[in-house]
Copies of this chain bind each other. A is one copy, B any other.
Amino acid sequence: MNIIGAAPAIRGVLVDLAGVVYQGEALLPGSMQALSRLKERIPRVRYLTNTTRSTRRSLVDRLRRLGLAIEEEEVFSAPQAARQLLQQRGLRPFLLVHPDLLPEFGDFSTTNPNAVVLGDAGAALTYEGLNRAFRLLMEGAPLISMGRNRYFRESSGLSLDAGPFAAALEYAAGVRAEAVGKPDAEFFHRALTDLDCPPAEAVMIGDDVHDDVCGAVGAGLRGILVRTGKYRPGDERHLPAASATAVDDLAAAVEEILANRPS
Query: What is A's interface to B at a CB cutoff of 8 Å?
Result: 121-128, 130-131, 134-135, 138, 150-151, 157-161, 163-165, 167-174
Whether B160 and A127, one on each chain, are in contact in the complex, defined by CB atoms closer than 8 angstroms, is yes
Question: Which of B123, B131, B164 is A168 in contact with, Cβ under 8 Å?
Answer: B164
Q: How far is B130's CA from A122's CA once the two chains are assembled, in angstroms?
A: 11
Whether B157 and A135, one on each chain, are in contact in the complex, defined by CB atoms closer than 8 angstroms, is yes
30 CB contacts below 8 A, A to B, read: A122-B127, A123-B126, A123-B128, A125-B127, A126-B126, A126-B127, A127-B160, A130-B160, A131-B159, A131-B160, A134-B151, A134-B159, A134-B160, A134-B164, A138-B158, A150-B171, A151-B172, A160-B172, A161-B172, A163-B171, A164-B168, A164-B169, A164-B172, A165-B168, A167-B167, A167-B168, A167-B170, A167-B171, A167-B172, A168-B168
**Number of identical protomers:** 2
Q: Interface SS of chain A: helix, strand, loop or mixed?
A: helix
Q: How far is B151's CA from A138's CA once the two chains are assembled, in angstroms?
A: 11
Question: Which of B124, B125, B128, B164 is A171 in contact with, Cβ under 8 Å?
Answer: B164
Q: Which residues of B contact A157 (CB under 8 A)?
A: 135
Beyond A127-B122, A151-B134, is A163–B158 a contact (Cβ under 8 Å)? no
